[in-house]
Amino acid sequence: ASTWASVPQGPPAILGITEAFKADSFQEKINLGVGAYRDDKGKPYVLPSVRTAEKKVVDSALDKEYAGITGVPSFTKAAAILAYGSSSDAIKNDRIAITQSISGTGALRIGGEFLARHYPSSKKIYIPTPSWANHNAVFKDSGLEVVKYKYYNKDTIGLDFDGMVEDLKAAPEGSIVLLHACAHNPTGIDPSEQQWRQISDVVKEKRHYPFFDMAYQGFASGDTKKDAFPVRLFESQGHHFCLAQSFAKNMGLYGERVGAFSICCESAEEKKRVDSQLKILVRPLYSNPPVHGARIAAEILNNPELNQQWLEEVKGMADRIISMRALLKKNLEDLGSKHDWSHITSQIGMFAYTGLKPEQMDKLAKEVSRICTKDSYDGAYMHQHSVYATKDGRISVAGITTGNVKRLAESIHQVTS
């Protein structure tokens, strides 16, 4: 028999949606499965600040030598300031160990591996229910045991704050707790600032170890400082924690794989030791990270003019998403939908958790039905949905445009009434 005769076929990944979308010949099909920003024409968007920064990088004809194990220092230094803030005590006192990473996923993986090796107590990591689909696999493959805490209340399509606090309190003292810093994926539901303070108190009381995943800084509210609130709060409250950062969404550097993993340490001396272990961990994984994307990000973060431009462009992306949420809700209401769609606008970030059931999501993709809208004076017409998104009811708001929102609302109204 062949060497791999007994390798089992794995299940299709999330990309199954893209394949089904591609195979659909309907002209007006809508893909709300992808976790990447699209402009109002539905096209991928390269930020003008990124184009300018990239040109500067290319024009300066830098060499292609290896970066150090922890990456491009001008990038990691600026990434830390972006997350922790320029007045951060940890930055001032040189207490942050940081390494460049293969985007957010790589940062999470380095964190998982570091905790599996060095975390002094339980190797369990608590993640919210639900969480980004890859968290489970990343942490399991890092050698951690993944446990869930309550997060989403399906009855209110909101945060189950009491359940979350209850689970954090019930977890053994010193547990590792993964927290989405902003724009929780997949629900788009974040704790309020007041709730973050309470979470900080519980985490402190229980001596838990927080692991922040910040994949959307700036992308949620349009303001990088506001989105970093939980991270900065936890620092100011004296927590020791670690942080995964991604520049995929907020700089649109998806395929460049730019990220950072950092550990906020007790002292500069501790940071040195932690840093040495990060290097020991990274070296056999990939030796050192790619430089191009990090140079682009560094240019944007360190050049005051470009930085200002970028902040405006991030806000532009966040604002378009926020306005598409409002437009989708309005269109549903205009169609006479009896459901309460307020969660669409109260949620934040790339995704809306619609509350639609798997059967309804199936219908959205496949069903053709006869519908009649208020303003279709020529009566009923055949309506093919061809709306593709994940079965859990999560839709990427980035895939909504002024051109397709009406048709989308009609389809959602159709499958929910």
CA–CA distance, 40 with 185 (Å, rounded to integer):
22
Instruction: Indicate the pairing of strand 381-384 with strand 368-371.
Output: antiparallel
The alpha helices in 190-267, defined as continuous H runs, are: 193-205, 224-227, 229-236
Give strand pairing partners of 178.
211
Least Cβ distance, residue 128 to ligand PLP (angstroms): 10
Indicate if 213 belongs to the active site: yes
187 in contact with ligand PLP (CB under 6 A):
no
For the record, the structure tokens of 80 come out as 């830390």
In 3-state terms, what secondary structure has residue 189?
coil
Indicate if 204 belongs to the active site: no
Least Cβ distance, residue 339 to ligand PLP (angstroms): 26
185 in contact with ligand PLP (CB under 6 A):
yes
Q: Which of 264, 261, 252 has the alpha carbon at shortest distance from 297?
A: 252
Question: Which residue's beta carbon is nearest to the bound ligand PLP?
Answer: 104
Number of H helices, E strands in the chain: 16, 15
In 3-state terms, what secondary structure has residue 403?
coil
Question: Which of 132, 161, 241, 388 forms a contact with ligand PLP (CB under 6 A)?
Answer: 132
Question: Which of 70, 103, 200, 217 forms a contact with ligand PLP (CB under 6 A)?
Answer: 103
Active-site option among 249, 271, 329, 363: 249
213 in contact with ligand PLP (CB under 6 A):
yes
76 in contact with ligand PLP (CB under 6 A):
no
For the record, the structure tokens of 403 come out as 């051109």
Q: Which of residues 10-39 bind ligand PLP (CB under 6 A)?
A: 35
180 in contact with ligand PLP (CB under 6 A):
yes
Applying CB under 6 A, what is the total number of residues that bind ligand PLP? Answer: 12
Indicate if 132 belongs to the active site: yes
In 3-state terms, what secondary structure has residue 129?
strand
CA–CA distance, 198 with 195 (Å, rounded to integer):
5
Question: Which of 49, 52, 99, 105 forms a contact with ligand PLP (CB under 6 A)?
Answer: 105
Phi, psi angle pair for 178, to nearest 5°:
-85, 130
Active-site option among 167, 190, 213, 227: 213
Nearer to ligand PLP by C-beta: 215 or 264? Answer: 215
For the record, the structure tokens of 379 come out as 């009566």
246 in contact with ligand PLP (CB under 6 A):
yes
Q: Which of residues 254-293 bind ligand PLP (CB under 6 A)?
A: 259
Active-site option among 29, 132, 227, 275: 132
CA–CA distance, 349 with 262 (Å, rounded to integer):
23
**Piece of 49-57, 98-106, 200-208, 272-280 that binds ligand PLP (CB under 6 A):** 98-106
Burial of 169: CB neighbours in 10 Å, binned 0-12, 13-18, 19+ = exposed
Query: What residues line the site for ligand PLP (CB under 6 A)?
Result: 35, 103-105, 132, 180, 185, 213, 215, 246, 248, 259
Q: Which of the residues are catalytic?
A: 132, 213, 249
